[in-house]
Structure 1
């Protein structure tokens, strides 16, 4: 393959990517404009137009002093604690899920014993255990983080087990014949082979962690996005309520975008990904 051919392929791929991004944002803009006209035509106070929501959000979050980068107390008292709970719970669940998944996946019989137990616990809706975590940790961040960890650990754990068990048998026999050290085997063979499924579980669990953060703060919290959303709804401040809802959508989009970028970089060595990218 010549340099000119490679450069042409890269240029066409970049053009297709830019066209896809432009098309997606154009569709989003059309939906927002349609929402604006529909809300103004309906005149319902429960469904304010996007322009009113944007003005309310700007006053709510970006009218602080310059020393705080124009961020208000609502950001420091509610947004940042919610982000810490979401990402902290997700990170802890990821570590626990990956470690247990690798250990259980390498055993031929472990899942036969703990599989039914896992099936029982992951069938329990995590929001129903929020009162239990409230008794254990009180109405504190520990309750929210515990709820998030319990809800998001299962996709990571089960995907890690499945990924470890899907390691190519040829690699297993080769490692045995060369008496490969266990640390090298796990770090250089098992984890890279299981990485695609582990990342799939991490991506699903990241979305669940954001959802559980909101639910846990709605039930029992003194601050956070969920609590602020509930307060705005109870005070009939509907533009403020919609501002928090839009913020949740933005956070979900940002989390997913950053995670996909990290996944593409970490798994760039995969043959299938190389061919697709």
Structure 2
């Protein structure tokens, strides 16, 4: 627990310094487009009160969670399938690389044509962007599993589900979590972008709405809230990752000590 607190303290140091620098640099600002940080902080509480919280923040988090989980399940499942079968991997790799290279924001208008402008469109946009880091990292993690161990498990006639659960998944899990970490940051970006297109609520919609009505301090407060949400989600992910990969981090620590 003490180590976690120390890590949190170190993680907060740079943001605190940046906020202090922002406060000092912007304190004398008279520009309507870049108000002082104290003005932004003063509007933060009244802007994101109970109504805004339930109308914009909660729907955004629900969409992000649903799209992210959908991408995680699909990416890990397809990644295991492709990674375990060399012929399938060789067949699909060019197509996967082509689809991965397409920026998800470019697909938003196309997705709107087929899925409409409701929550389904936003979920598909988030999931389509989060899928590729998870999928490709899972494939690489499975490919990196020691073939000698796989052949040994087969020689002992260990069933395929048992090999997958006790050998392949644990060995590939560090790479899988690396993909999940990348997907989280992409998901936050796509959550905002998807809510800027024909939406009636959400953080992206609120920020654009503030900008169009020239409520500049409120707009900056929304950007600040997005940064805080990203930081909190990243810290929560690290806690989950450390618990799930405790054996891996312990192994690396023992190797460094030796």
Normalising by structure 2, we get a TM-score of: 0.93
Distance in 1 of aligned mates of 2:161 and 2:210: 53
Corresponding residue number in structure 1 for 2:35: 48
Q: Is the 8 A contact 1:218 1:226 kept in 2?
A: yes
Shift of 1:26: 4.2
Gaps of 5+ in 2: none
Q: Which residue of 1 aligns with 2:237?
A: 259
Match of 1:65 in 2: none
1:36 to 16, 19, 23: 23
What does the per-residue CA deviation read over 1:71-103, in whole Å, with 9 as the maximum and x for residues that have no partner?
Answer: x21111111111011111010000000000001
User: Please, which of 97, 122, 130 is the counterpart of residue 100 of structure 2?
Assistant: 122
Give per-residue Cα distances to partners, 1:117-154, cap 9 Å, x unaligned: 11111111111111111111111011111011111101
Give the number of equivalent residue pairs: 255
Write the distance in 2 (CA, Å) between the matches of 1:257 and 1:23.
Answer: 12
Asked whether 1:187 is paired with 2:165, we answer yes
Which runs of no fewer than 5 residues in structure 1 stay unpaired?
1-9, 63-71
Does 1:96 find its partner at 2:74? yes
The residue matched to 2:33 in structure 1 has which SS?
coil
Deviates more, 1:161-170 or 1:194-203: 161-170
C-alpha RMSD of the superposition: 1.9
Q: Which residue number corresponds to residue 175 of structure 1?
A: 153
Q: Distance in 2 between matches of 1:155 and 1:80?
A: 25
Does residue 238 (structure 1) correspond to residue 216 (structure 2)? The answer is yes
- From the superposition, tell whether residues 77 and 19 of structure 1 become closer, same or farther in structure 2 (CA, over 3 Å): closer
Larger RCO (CA within 8 A; separation ≥ 6): 2
Instruction: Give yes or no for contact 1:134–1:220 (8 Å, CA) kept in 2.
Output: no
C-alpha distance in 2 between matches for 1:18 and 1:146? 37
2:110 is aligned with 1:110 = no
Residues 153/213 of structure 1: CA separation in 2 closer, same or farther (3 Å cut): same
* Structure 1 stretch displaced more, 140-149 or 42-51: 42-51
Q: Deviations over 1:43-90 (max 9, x none)?
A: 21211222221221101223xxxxxxxxx2111111111101111101
Residues 76, 275 of structure 1: alpha-carbon distance in 2 compared, 3 angstrom cutoff: farther
1:4 aligned residue: none
Following TM superposition, by how much is the alpha carbon of 1:274 offset from its aligned partner in structure 2, in angstroms? Answer: 5.5
In the TM superposition, 1:212-251 aligns within 5 A as: 212-251=190-229
2:58 is matched with which residue?
80
In 1, Cα distance between equivalents of 2:7 and 2:207: 34
Q: Matched residues in 1 for 2:254 and 2:90: separation?
A: 36
Bigger Rg, which one: 1
Distance 1:150 1:169 in 2: 32
Q: Tell me, yes or no, if structure 1 residue 59 matches structure 2 residue 46.
A: yes
Task: Say yes or no: does 1:135 pair with 2:113.
Answer: yes
Question: Any idea what SS the aligned residue of 2:190 has?
Answer: helix
